[in-house]
Each structure stands twice: as C-alpha cells, then as structure tokens.
C-alpha cells in the first residue's frame, strides 16, 4: 500500500534537501548546467562578471572565487526550483518578467552588482521560485 505524504512532511523534506544543496558548493557542474540555459553574457550579468571571466571559470582555466561560487550556486538553486516547471527559454524569460511580489521588478534586477545569496533581494527571488514551482506541481 502506498502512503501519501502530508504537505508538512514534503516541505520538511524539501527544506532538508535544500540545506544539503546549499552546503555543497561545486562550481564545475553548475557552470555547465547554467551555461546550457544562459549564454555567458547573461550569466555574467547575474554574477557581476565579464563574459571572458565566465568562459575562463567555466572551462576550469581559473579557480572560481568563493564569492562567485556562492552566487553561481544561488542562481543554480533557483533554476533547479523552476526546472521541472519551465524549459530553458521560459526560464530565461522568468528572470526578465516583472513581478508584483517583487515590487514590480523582474527577478534579474536582484542579481546585479556585488550581491550575496543571503541578501534580502536574492532571498525573495528564491522564495518566489519555490512558491511558483510548488503551485505548479
């Protein structure tokens, strides 16, 4: 007999998985995954990097600095939240659409300059992504 899980148990499980993912910063697979969705110019805007640096870090020519690894991971978590709901084209558009819950701003606005994953804006965007993914399941 299959038992259905309560929404609370599913949420606790998801939070546990998120905590493990947040603790496992591995830039190499995340560079590949995100560059399959965004070009190096778009990803460079999110990470506050020139496209040439995106290419060098992604190729492994240089070690990805910790601050960039943290930003890359934050974007990868958001993309992961939305990946089951949106294809690559829709994911790119998701970051550019204005959102009422973000005070009429698009999510991409919160990933400019020297942002950190724990900053309020990026946290709000992650919560929005989780909420949208949950509502479409």
**Contact by Cβ (8 Å): 21, 72:** no
Place 135 in a pLDDT band, splitting at 50, 70 and 90.
confident
Q: Answer yes or no: is 16 within a domain.
A: no
Q: Give DSSP secondary structure letters for 26-73.
A: -HHHHHHHHHTTS-HHHHHHHHT--HHHHHHHHHTSSPPPHHHHHHHH
pLDDT tens, residue by residue, 10-53: 666 666 555 555 555 578 899 999 999 999 999 999 999 999 99
Q: Answer yes or no: is 21 within a domain.
A: no
For residues 44, 49, 55 and 56, what is the CA-based torsion angle, rounded to 10 degrees? -160
Q: Answer yes or no: is 59 within a domain.
A: yes
Q: Answer yes or no: is 10 within a domain.
A: no
Domain containing 112 equals 26-136
Phi-psi region of 105 (alpha: psi -120 to 50; beta: other; left: phi over 0): beta
Q: Answer yes or no: is 18 within a domain.
A: no
Stronger pLDDT, 6 or 121, i.e. the higher one = 121
Q: Answer yes or no: is 83 within a domain.
A: yes
Position 91 pLDDT exceeds 50 = yes
Location of structure tokens 């870090």: 57
The number of domains in the chain is 1
Q: Give DSSP secondary structure letters for 55-123.
A: HHHHHTSSPPPHHHHHHHHHHHHHHHHHHTT--HHHHHHHHHS-BGGGTTB-GGGGSSSS--TTSHHHH
């Amino acid at each position: 007999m299959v038992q259905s899980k309560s929404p609370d148990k599913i949420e606790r499980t998801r939070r546990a998985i998120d905590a493990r993912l947040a603790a496992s910063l591995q830039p190499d697979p995340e560079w590949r995954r995100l560059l399959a969705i965004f070009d190096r110019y778009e990803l460079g805007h999110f990470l506050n990097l020139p496209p040439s640096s995106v290419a060098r870090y992604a190729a492994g020519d240089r070690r990805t600095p910790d601050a960039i690894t943290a930003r890359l991971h934050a974007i990868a978590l958001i993309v992961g939240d939305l990946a089951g709901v949106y294809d690559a084209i829709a994911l790119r558009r998701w970051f550019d659409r204005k959102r009422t819950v973000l005070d009429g701003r698009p999510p991409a606005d919160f990933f400019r300059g020297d942002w950190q994953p724990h900053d309020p804006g990026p946290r709000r965007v992650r919560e929005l992504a989780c909420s949208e993914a949950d509502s479409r399941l």
